[in-house]
């Protein structure tokens, strides 16, 4: 992991010590069977992949600055939503980003992936599940999970046609969402959605990406993503 992170730092992907230290606490070998330290996406089955390490680093780098909006609050009150938790890797990273304080809600709609992600987390981070610092749900993530919101951070691991208002509504004041937008894999971009302390929402188009689509379980299993 250290070699991989040093490479990402040299390439300018990992910029902050905060993100470097966070990713160093989570061994990708717990979540990927082959070549865990290669910087590429890998197939998980069920027509879905785990993102390349540089994309996870980008997600953490874009999301983490928003947490400074809440430094006057108790981190135990933090809530983070990870839609498309898949292998469980980034879900654990998000927990480490807040020093295992608060709650990270991971949503995965494919039952087999949901169970695989849970098993992966149990290898070295079982305490996070036992202590309900990480809560995994086998649900359709397109609607988020308002029961535990609002969320200081929302990460969406699949591309939507447009920014879902239902997720914007679940974003806390001062919070930030990281979401890929675009149905065409050749024309997708990460959008950073910020909600300021007065509830005003702004949208910023950032890097070009290529993600599977945020769709139903049935369409994903048929390969329509």
Residues 6+ positions from 137 with CB-CB distance below 8 Å = 105, 106, 107, 108, 114, 145
| Alpha-helical segments (H) within the chain | 2-10, 17-24, 53-63, 89-97, 111-130, 165-169, 217-221
38 pLDDT more than 60: yes
Domain of 184, CATH number, reads 3.40.50.150
pLDDT at 72: 63
* Number of domains present in the structure of the chain: 1
For residues 216 and 96, the model is more confident at 96
Q: So which residues are the catalytic ones?
A: 51
pLDDT digits (tens, 9 = 90+) for 137-171: 999 999 999 999 999 999 999 999 999 999 999 99
Return phi, psi of residue 206, to 5°. Answer: -120, -120
Domain that holds residue 157: 2-221
Rounded to two decimals, what is the model's pTM? 0.95
pLDDT at 214: 86
Q: How confident is the model at residue 212 (pLDDT cuts 50, 70, 90)?
A: confident
């Amino acid at each position: 992991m250290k070699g991989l992170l040093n490479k990402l730092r040299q390439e300018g992907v990992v910029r902050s010590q905060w993100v470097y230290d966070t990713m160093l606490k989570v061994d990708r070998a717990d979540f990927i069977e082959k070549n865990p330290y290669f910087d590429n996406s890998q197939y998980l089955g069920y027509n879905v992949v785990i993102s390349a390490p540089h994309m996870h680093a980008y997600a953490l780098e874009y999301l983490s600055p928003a947490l400074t909006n809440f430094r006057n609050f108790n981190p135990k009150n933090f809530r983070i939503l990870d839609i498309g938790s898949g292998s469980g890797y980034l879900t654990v990273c998000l927990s480490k980003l807040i020093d295992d304080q608060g709650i990270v809600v991971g949503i995965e709609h494919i039952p087999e992936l949901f169970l695989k992600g849970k098993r992966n987390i149990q290898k070295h981070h079982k305490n996070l599940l036992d202590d309900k610092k990480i809560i995994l749900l086998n649900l359709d993530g397109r609607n988020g999970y308002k029961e535990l919101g609002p969320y200081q951070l929302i990460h969406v691991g699949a591309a939507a046609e447009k920014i879902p208002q239902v997720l914007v509504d679940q974003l806390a004041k001062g919070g930030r969402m990281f979401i890929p937008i675009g149905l065409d894999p050749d024309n997708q971009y990460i959008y950073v959605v910020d909600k300021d302390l007065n509830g005003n929402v702004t949208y910023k188009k950032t890097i070009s990406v290529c993600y599977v689509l945020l769709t139903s379980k049935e369409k994903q299993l048929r390969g329509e993503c």
